Amino acid sequence: AGARGGRPTERTHVQLAATFLDDEAPGRLSVLFGEQPPSLSLVAPAKVNLFLRILRKREDGYHELASLFQTVSLFDDLDFWEMPRDDTKPLCSMEVTPDSLRAELIPTDESNLVMRALKLYAERVPTSSAIHCRLHKRIPAQGGLGGGSSDAATALHAANRLAGFPVSQDTLIEWAGELGSDCGFFLSRGSAYCTGRGELVSPVDPLSPAACYLIKPATGLSTPAVFKELGLQPGEELPGADPLELLKGLQEDVYNADLYVNDLEPPAFKLMPQLKDMCDDLRKLGFRAVMMSGSGTTCFAVGTPYEDVLETWQDELAAKYDVEVFEEMFCRRPVPDDTLWYTEQLPGAMLTNIDEPERGLLLQ
């Protein structure tokens, strides 16, 4: 059976015994930091697609999409140590905490987006320092939550901050687009209208705060398989709602269930019928809006359930569908200042205009 997901816990400094690999003995640790605190500690948020329109299949095989991306308060933790460059050592390195989610499956070489981000920055900003990163993973992989992309964007921001912000925000977003189609989004304020393959990021004003439960099934779906089931041919368009109208509507009312549209739900539900059953069950619990995020299999529920099921629904749902439930909310970078990053605590002003049951949840 599944289980409830935990809230972010307070970080403690632990002994760091991994930095740069010895060139003469690859794979062996050659430097020990001891308990030296990190130079910088940041969080990397997950994201959901509040709507996802697949507009057409391009001639190059990619799908043209339009989506409203929104960050949520499920965070990975990243600690960064800054050191002088040494021509005999790599420009960057990383480790994963042993208690990370599925730590044994997370690579620490250049197949990890964090390493690729740090290396890209170091190569393009030769005056920057060497950096070691420690990742504590909480965001489930392969759930459409963007954890790897968020980690990479956080690493880019960290490197730029440690270097004194020599690179503009717009340039960082361009570099992030080279790492992955949705990496640039995480350098926005937390709400953005994304087009193309997802790499064209147009930041929008932050949405009203709302409780957002993430429901992650143990079983995943292949994104290519979902798009294949969608069945579009090159050049073919998919009719549907005007994404700009969906965007306008959600900016006015984040609780309007009619605006939560995902064109990948039908093919995903066909491949995995229990996803549809689970979403139907969530709607019966009283949530304002329920939808699958991206290509799945993570689903999310906006708002709060009926009061009479508030204490029981998570365990009952987890037992029925083998899922993990995370109690989260929409989040954002706190002020329009490119030097600041996402934080785990919301300013009190953001709790205005939230229904009383949700305010209680958010203040727990």
pLDDT at 21 over 70: no
Give residue 351's Cα distance to chain centre: 22
Q: Higher model confidence: residue 206 or residue 349?
A: 206
Share of the chain above pLDDT 90, in %: 63
The per-residue pLDDT for range 186-195, each reduced to its tens digit, is 999 899 999 9
pLDDT greater than 70 at residue 132: yes
Res 273: pLDDT: 95
pLDDT, greater one: 235 or 350: 235
Taken in order 158, 186, 3, 359, is the CA torsion positive or negative? positive
* 67, β-bridge pairs: 52, 194
Q: What is the pLDDT of residue 324?
A: 92
Cross-strand partners of 70 = 48, 191
DSSP, res 153: H
pLDDT at 185 over 90: yes
Q: Smallest Cα–Cα separation from 243: which of 187, 305, 196, 313?
A: 196
pLDDT top residue among 42 and 337: 42
- Confidence at residue 251, expressed as pLDDT on a 0 to 100 scale: 95
Average pLDDT of 318-344? 86
Q: Mean pLDDT lowest for which of 273-287, 293-307, 329-343?
A: 329-343
pLDDT tens, position by position, 85-108: 888 888 899 999 998 888 888 888
Instruction: Note the pLDDT of residue 81.
Output: 94
What mean pLDDT comes out for the span 303-322?
Answer: 92
The 10s digit of each residue's pLDDT in 133-166 is 999 999 988 778 999 999 999 999 999 999 999 9
Poorest-confidence range of 138-147, 254-263, 292-301, 347-356?
A: 347-356
Strands 323-329 and 211-217 turn out to be: antiparallel
The answer to whether the Cα torsion of 328, 331, 220, 227 is positive or negative is positive
> Does residue 48 have a pLDDT over 80?
yes
Q: Is the pLDDT of residue 77 over 60?
A: yes
Kindly report the average pLDDT of the chain as a whole number: 84
pLDDT the model gives residue 222: 86
CA angle, residues 173, 163, 340, in degrees to nearest 5 = 60
* 262 within 8 A of 291, measured Cβ to Cβ: yes
**Of the candidates 47, 234, 78, 98, the residue with the CA atom closest to the CA atom of residue 159:** 78
* pLDDT at residue 1 in the model: 42
Residue 33, pLDDT above cutoff 70: no
Q: How many CA atoms lie within 13 A of 177 on its CB side?
A: 15
Distance CA(336)–CA(189), nearest Å, equals: 7
Which of the four pLDDT bands, split at 50, 70 and 90, describes residue 182?
Answer: confident
Tokens of 5: 């997901």
46 within 8 A of 344, measured Cβ to Cβ: no
Taking the CB of residue 29, how many other CB atoms lie within 10 A of it? 14
Asked whether the predicted pLDDT for residue 70 surpasses 50, the reply is yes
Mean pLDDT across 198-220: 90
Structure tokens at 83: 């050191």
Domains of the chain from N-terminus onward? 3-362 (3.30.230.10)
Closest C-alpha to 323, from 306, 290, 298: 298
What is the pLDDT confidence band of residue 34, given thresholds at 50, 70 and 90?
low
